[in-house]
Amino acid sequence: MYQKILYLCANLTLDLMIQIHELGASDSIFNQFMAELRDTAIQQDRLRFRHNLERIGGIMAYEISKTMDYETHEVVTPLGIKETRLLKEQPVIATILRAGVPFHNGMLDMFDHADSAFIAAYRKYDKNEDYEIRVEYYSSPELDGKVLILCDPMLATGESIVKTLDGLLNEMEPKHIHIAAAVASADGLEHVKRKLSRKPVTIWVGSIDEELTAKAYIVPGIGDVGDLAYGEKR
């Protein structure tokens, strides 16, 4: 009984520290873009597929922008002056290559003055089809005291997100971390919550899918986002 209470308290603490927003849970045009992203017929049009990822990224960036700090600026118009509330500082938008590029571009359309970071991470399979997540490249501006948005279309096991942040945040401490994914598995979200429980994190997802296969593919999911956006790899 005591162990069960400790477990419930630990999970309540995680829920309070790390917020998860599922945008597709509310009715909006966002769900049309998500439906088209999943649709096997529409997926055949790579341009449309990338464009839907961009639109989803743009909407998530807009939602994230509501949580940030603003200050008053005076804007000079042809007929006078208008006070307007503008972002106090720009975020850094990071993405995992290659699948994350269209998603990242959609966010940059909103945060068009933001700096960017890029990470190369992938699954390395052995002959038994077991795999490990490898992260081999980071390109990032200064992150200390800044808002970091890490966007990756799929959050399956969550391990690539965790390993990416472990390396990206080496000796740097952002003010707040936003993780954005079009589709996430319930298990992957729990893994990220446990591993990042001591960091200021908010997670934004289009949809939470319950099933994760033995090979760590999300069901119903989307498919291989990188292949659908840019063609099959060897």
Domain parsing of the chain, residue ranges: 2-230
Q: What is the pLDDT of residue 125?
A: 64
Q: How confident is the model at residue 6 (pLDDT cuts 50, 70, 90)?
A: very low
Q: Does pTM top 0.75 for this prediction?
A: yes
pLDDT tens digits, one per residue of 106-146: 999 999 999 999 998 776 666 666 667 778 888 999 999 99
Name the strand (E) or helix (H) holding 208. strand 201-209
For residue 76, give every residue at least 6 positions away whose Cβ sits within 8 Å of its Cβ, in sequence order, or none: none
Distance CA 35, CA 32 (A): 5
Q: Which of 129, 193, 126, 127 lies closest to 157, judged by CA? A: 193
Distance, CA of 162 to CA of 226 (rounded, Å): 20
User: What average pLDDT score do residues 59-80 get?
Assistant: 97
pLDDT class for 3, splitting at 50, 70, 90? very low
pLDDT band at 218; cut points 50, 70, 90: very high
Q: What are the angstrom distances between the C-alpha of 67 and each of 27, 114, 134, 183?
A: 21, 16, 32, 21
Q: Does residue 94 contact residue 108 with C-beta atoms inside 8 Å?
A: no
The 10s digit of each residue's pLDDT in 17-59 is 789 999 999 999 999 999 999 999 999 999 999 999 999 999 9
Residue 198 has pLDDT above 70, yes or no: yes
Q: What is the pLDDT of residue 209?
A: 95
Which CATH number describes the domain made up of 2-230? 3.40.50.2020
The DSSP code for 130 is -
Chain mean pLDDT for the chain: 89
pLDDT band at 7 (very low <50, low <70, confident <90, very high): very low
| Amino acid of residue 155 | L
Render pLDDT for 77-104 as a digit per residue (tens, 0 to 9).
999 999 999 999 999 999 998 889 999 9
Per-residue pLDDT at 114: 97
> What's the pLDDT score for residue 199?
83
Residue identified by tokens 């934004």 is 204
Residue with tokens 């003055």: 113
Which CA distances in Å does 17 have to 155, 201, 202? 19, 7, 9
pLDDT at 37: 96
* Dist CA 149 CA 153 (whole Å): 13
CA–CA distance, 68 with 88 (Å, rounded to integer): 8
